[in-house]
Structure 1
Amino acid sequence: MAALRYLTAGESHGKALIGILEGIPSGLGISPRDIDNDLVRRQAGYGRGGRMKIEADRAEILSGVRWGQTIGSPIALLIENRDYRNWVKGMSFHAEDYGSIPAITQPRPGHADLSGSLKYRHQDIRNVLERSSARETAMRVALGAIAKKFLQVFHISIGSYVLQIGGVRMREADGPAAVSREKRQGAKGFGSSSRLEEGSNLKAFQSLFRKAEKSPVRCPDVEASRRMVQLIDEVTKSGNSVGGVFEVFVTGCPPGLGSYIQWDKRLDGRFSHALMSIQAIKGVEVGLGFWMSARFGSEVMDEIFFSRRTGYYRKTNNAGGIEGGMTDGMPILLRAAMKPIPTLRRPLKSVDTVTKNPVQAVYERSDICAVPAAGVIGEAMVALTLADAFLEKFGGDSMEEVQRNYESYMHSVKRS
């Protein structure tokens, strides 16, 4: 990241998670409530594990904010791990507590367990799974909430909803953001997307988001939501897990963020990197994504129109708001596929790393389905990436300076 930098630290059952975010200008209004709202959303979702009943994630602001406003210095956050009280000896930093809990030597297929223990020469796999755990994403959500707050000043909104869990997929949404029947009927996998009618984008996405927030699985389709819950119940009884697909959308984004000048400045690549960094994400699409590979160019390119009143516009958004590595002014559409959680109550075959004998993989308390939570994490990663690109383009040390740079650019765009 060029304008923003962030780091997280902490283990799943350690004392706390720590995050540092550098690059937010001074003068941004922020409060713990702005952060805690998304932390609550991350903890929700049908199919979450028992850990969510223990934790009540809240962010404590340690630095970078004074009297409700950022002051330009690095923002440090802390999220307490309440479950640490059950792991005081097991996660102690005192040498004399060594061996207070048994070592884990049965790596779980699909996790970082085996590769991590080989790479870092750990005899106890707990040293790997504590940090590789998705518990770390709680801090990413907290830092992403600050990035969201920054983007909201410029009327940029970010949200998400679940498209699919297992083999259950939402039907066409109602209203102007509906997936076109033509595309839905011909689509396979999770490559179909929204074909948006001109002028309806913001209201359509707000409607989808509101419906999703009322669903236990964050799916705006009521019937699909019911079937997803039913599927998760069936999977739970069988001792298995299930994955799915979520979509992140961004509205209100100006054209020209990102760049085609160098490979690492292309915004679609940066978004893909950010989403793929989330635990268990195995695929990312931008716009119509893979669906476009089976169509002709004349079918998928978003034609350009001009209005004296509103300027340049498109009637379709198959590109998902990004062309040539840059935002084009249309809503950004990003989808991510999440594999099933690899920790299973009915463990898979593995090998003991000490004896080398066949064993069953260790079971560590886990979720059955984390797709609804992954969508909230996806929002955070998209927000951090977009805020970085925004500050690259309009950067300043204070919000006043960034606002001035942004307004000057938008004025020039409207005159073009």
Structure 2
Amino acid sequence: MRYLTAGESHGQGLVGIIEGLPAGLEITEEDIAVDLKRRQMGHGRGGRMKIEKDKAQIFSGVRFGKTLGSPIALIVENKDWKNWQTKMSIKDIDESVKQVTVPRPGHADFAGAVKYGHQDIRNVLERASARETAMRVALGAIARKFLGTFSIKIVSHVLQIHSIKNSFTVASLGAKKSDLPFELSEISDLADRSPVRCLDSSIEKEMIAKIDQAKKDQNTVGGIFEVACLNLPVGLGSHVHWDRKLDARISHAMMSIPAMKGVEIGLGFEAGARFGSEVHDQIYYDKDSKKYFRSSNGAGGLEGGITNGMPLTVRVAMKPISTLMRPLDSVDMATKEQTAAHIERSDVCAVPAASIIGESILALVVADAFLEKFGGDSMKEITRTYRAWEKNSDI
């Protein structure tokens, strides 16, 4: 399975094509709209969220509510395009358009302008913008729907904003979760009730206060979110080549989200400060259920680049957004004079939204691995293969 996106932040819209999904998967524009709406929420978002009410149009690859097995194309219009038709004109225009020549520290502005020889940094920032992730969320919704037919669920929540932390992580749980006041499958639904997608209401208030303070100070804040994939079969991914290891593929994909600076799976960096006996998950067998289980999940559901049946847990660190209303020092690349960085409309904090994007990215990677393991040309064929594996697999 593969996908491509195209489009600029203030262009006419975003385009996405996903190829490799089987025929017969039920999908509607309403299915996709759910996640697009979730991506737009969160305390600390900017003014654009009041303009854009994202809706994906299915352009091809679906007939009578089911996929055809051919490439699926989606279009998401930019409502703000009407205000940018001159600045973002595809055709050459006679009138002068003010160029952006001062890069923002931390953004793709400087490196992109130098690499591609652009005098106007807008040619870089428009594509480098996180606006592109709206399309990846739309494509991810299709992958999520595919996984859901096999009872595989992806959830997420925010762990940290700036220095305010929530101690709960799915990665810290073992096989027994009876002491939890909720089911793991409910995490996203519970998180969505919070303006910062935090599961702890007392910490939520501190997070909101931190975001509000950053806005008052004309600053920005980042944080950490956790994404988990539940009910995975053993055997997705592979140990035999570097590019087939599922943990490597997940890390690569997560780091492709704008502003992400670090990825941990399972215990992550904490494993480096523990003894092996404190890190590795001991294996047990329940003769009644005839299933293997673990008492811990330090591996985060992955061993040797392969799923081991435990929840797959990923934590991702997001840096503060690069556009500051009180801009940092920079240089005008046209005049070489020292000046304040360019200001572009932006968010104060986008960690809650990033967690939704993380769900979609994980769905795309896991769906690809699932198709490699159980692939076929139709949903019936894949379902038959998967059910046969469930019946005959020694797990």
Fold match (TM-score > 0.5)? yes
Given that 2:153 and 2:185 are in contact with CA atoms closer than 8 Å, whether structure 1 keeps it comes out as no
Aligned mate of 2:258, from 268, 274, 279:
279
- The residue type equivalent to 2:224 in the other structure is V
Query: 1:312: which partner in 2?
Result: 292
- The residue type equivalent to 1:94 in the other structure is K
Query: 1:366: which partner in 2?
Result: 346
Query: 2:172: which partner in 1?
Result: 194
Query: 2:240: which partner in 1?
Result: 261
1:95 alignment partner, SS class? coil
Specify whether residues 355 and 320 from structure 1 end up closer, same or farther in structure 2 by C-alpha distance, changes over 3 A only: same
- The residue type equivalent to 1:408 in the other structure is A
**Aligned: 1:208 with 2:187:** yes
Aligned mate of 1:69, from 58, 66, 69:
66
Aligned mate of 2:51, from 51, 54, 76:
54
Report the CA distance between 1:97 and its aligned residue.
4.6
Report the CA distance between 1:309 and its aligned residue.
2.7
Aligned mate of 2:14, from 17, 21, 25:
17
TM-score by length of 1: 0.92
Q: What is the rounded CA distance, in whole Å, between the counterparts of 1:398 and 1:14 in structure 2? A: 36
- The residue type equivalent to 2:45 in the other structure is R
Query: 2:87: which partner in 1?
Result: 90
Given that 2:175 and 2:293 are in contact with CA atoms closer than 8 Å, whether structure 1 keeps it comes out as no
Aligned mate of 2:132, from 105, 125, 136:
136
> Mean Cα displacement is larger for which, 79-88 or 301-310?
301-310
1:379 alignment partner, SS class? helix
Q: What is the rounded CA distance, in whole Å, between the counterparts of 2:9 and 2:282 in structure 1? A: 48
2:183 alignment partner, SS class? helix
Q: What is the rounded CA distance, in whole Å, between the counterparts of 2:177 and 2:184 in structure 1? A: 12
1:19 alignment partner, SS class? strand
Q: What is the rounded CA distance, in whole Å, between the counterparts of 2:197 and 2:388 in structure 1? A: 38
Aligned mate of 1:32, from 29, 33, 37:
29
Given that 1:198 and 1:314 are in contact with CA atoms closer than 8 Å, whether structure 2 keeps it comes out as no
Given that 1:171 and 1:221 are in contact with CA atoms closer than 8 Å, whether structure 2 keeps it comes out as no
Query: 1:183: which partner in 2?
Result: none
Query: 1:239: which partner in 2?
Result: 218
- In structure 1, the gaps of 5 or more residues are 178-192
- The residue type equivalent to 2:16 in the other structure is G
Sequence identity percentage: 56
Query: 1:181: which partner in 2?
Result: none
2:45 alignment partner, SS class? coil
Number of aligned residue pairs = 393
**Aligned: 1:389 with 2:369:** yes
> Mean Cα displacement is larger for which, 125-134 or 210-219?
210-219
TM-score by length of 2: 0.97
Q: What is the rounded CA distance, in whole Å, between the counterparts of 1:97 and 1:340 in structure 2? A: 38
Q: What is the rounded CA distance, in whole Å, between the counterparts of 1:285 and 1:277 in structure 2? A: 15
Report the CA distance between 1:203 and its aligned residue.
5.5
Specify whether residues 202 and 323 from structure 1 end up closer, same or farther in structure 2 by C-alpha distance, changes over 3 A only: farther
Specify whether residues 116 and 239 from structure 1 end up closer, same or farther in structure 2 by C-alpha distance, changes over 3 A only: same
CA deviation string 1:3-29 (max 9, x = no partner): x11000000000010000001100000
Q: What is the rounded CA distance, in whole Å, between the counterparts of 2:155 and 2:299 in structure 1? A: 18
Given that 2:164 and 2:203 are in contact with CA atoms closer than 8 Å, whether structure 1 keeps it comes out as yes
Given that 2:174 and 2:294 are in contact with CA atoms closer than 8 Å, whether structure 1 keeps it comes out as no
- The residue type equivalent to 1:262 in the other structure is H
Query: 1:155: which partner in 2?
Result: 151
Query: 1:344: which partner in 2?
Result: 324
CA deviation string 1:170-192 (max 9, x = no partner): 1448xxx6xxxxxxxxxxxxxxx
- The residue type equivalent to 2:315 in the other structure is R
Given that 2:247 and 2:305 are in contact with CA atoms closer than 8 Å, whether structure 1 keeps it comes out as yes
Report the CA distance between 1:198 and its aligned residue.
2.8
